[in-house]
Amino acid sequence: MPEELGSTETKLTDNKTTERLQKRLARAGVASRRAAEELIKAGRVTVNGAVATLGQSVSEDDLVEVDELALDAAPTEQRTFAMYKRRGIIVTTHDEKGRPAVMDNMPNIPGLHPVGRLDRDSEGLLLLTTDGELTLRLTHPRYGHDKVYRAWIDGGIPENDTLDALEDGIELEDGFTAPSRVDRAGKGVYVTLREGKNRQVRRMLEAVGHPVTRLVRVRLGGLWLEDLVPGEWRELDSRDLFDLENPDKTPEHVWDRKEGLTRERWG
C-alpha cells in the first residue's frame, strides 16, 4: 500500500523530514524513479556538491543538482499526456542509434518521460508524464492496473481450450503468466493483463500457435485510446487522471459507451 512505501522512503531525522534521493528526483519531475536511479548511478547527481549514491536520503535543506543544475525542492506542476504511439517508434527519451523515438514530437518539458513499455512493433495508447509518483502507481504490479490489447493473429480462430489456457496462465521462458482475460474479436482477440512481462501478449499467443500480426493497446486503467490517430497526442486533465486510476468509479453507461466505441473501431 502507499502508506507502506512512504514509511520506508520518508522519515523524520533530527526534526527534518528526509526521503530517498530517487523519490525526491521523481517528485520534482526530473524522471521516473527507475530513470532517476540510472542518473544517480551515472554520477550525474550531486548532493551538497558531492556525487550522490544510490539509496542516499536527503532533506529539503540539501542542495540537489542534476548535471550541475539545481533542483527545486518544491514539486513542479505535473503534466501528463496520452499518445497514440505509431508502429516502428521506440519508447525511450532518446535512441543512441538515431531511430524515431516517442519524445521526438512531444513538447520540450523537463522531466517528461514515457510510462512503461510498448515495444517497437506495437502501437496504441502510451502515457508520458513528468509525475514520477504516477509512473510508479501505473507500472508497479501491486497497484494492479489493467492493460487491454487488441491482437490480430495467424492460425485461425482460437479454440475454447486455447482461450482457457491463456487465461489460466501459460509457461514462458521467464515463468508462468498471471491469470488474464482473453476474448475473441474478429480475426484475433482482446487480451487484458495486469502484469507486464516484456512482449508478453506476443509471446503468449505465439506459444499457443497464434503469432501476432498486429498489436494495439486500447486501454490502460480507466483511460481509453478512443479517437486518437497514429502520432497524435493530447494532454490529460484532472478528470482524465481520475478516470485513469479509478476505473471502478466510472459510471456504467460511460464505460459501456467507451467500450462499444473501441469495439466499433477495432472489431
Alpha-carbon span 229 to 217, nearest angstrom: 13
* CATH number for the segment(s) 80-266: 3.30.2350.10
The DSSP code sequence of 138-198 is HHSGGG---EEEEEEESSSSPPHHHHHHHHH--EETTEEPPP-EEEE-SSEEEEEESS--T
- Catalytic annotation, pick one of 119, 121, 146, 240: 119
| Number of other CB atoms surrounding residue 169 within 10 Å | 15
Give residue 58's pLDDT. 92
- Residue 119 among the catalytic residues: yes
pLDDT of the chain along its 267 residues, tens only?
333 344 445 555 555 688 899 888 877 767 777 778 888 998 989 999 999 999 899 988 889 988 777 876 555 688 999 999 999 999 987 777 888 999 998 998 888 889 988 999 999 999 999 888 888 888 877 788 999 999 999 999 999 999 999 999 999 998 899 999 999 998 999 999 988 788 999 999 999 999 999 999 999 999 999 999 999 999 999 999 999 999 999 999 999 999 999 999 999
How many residues would you count in the chain? Answer: 267
Rounded to two decimals, the pTM is 0.76
Give residue 3's pLDDT. 37
Give residue 5's pLDDT. 41
Give residue 9's pLDDT. 52
Question: What residue segments make up the domains of the chain, in order of their start?
Answer: 18-70, 80-266
Residue closest to 255 by CA, chosen among 235, 228, 226: 226
User: Is-contact 94 38, C-beta < 8 A?
Assistant: no
Superfamily of chain region 18-70: RNA-binding S4 domain (3.10.290.10)
Residue closest to 25 by CA, chosen among 11, 4, 14, 41: 41
Give residue 17's pLDDT. 83
What interhelical angle do 238-245 and 132-139 show, nearest 10?
Answer: 30
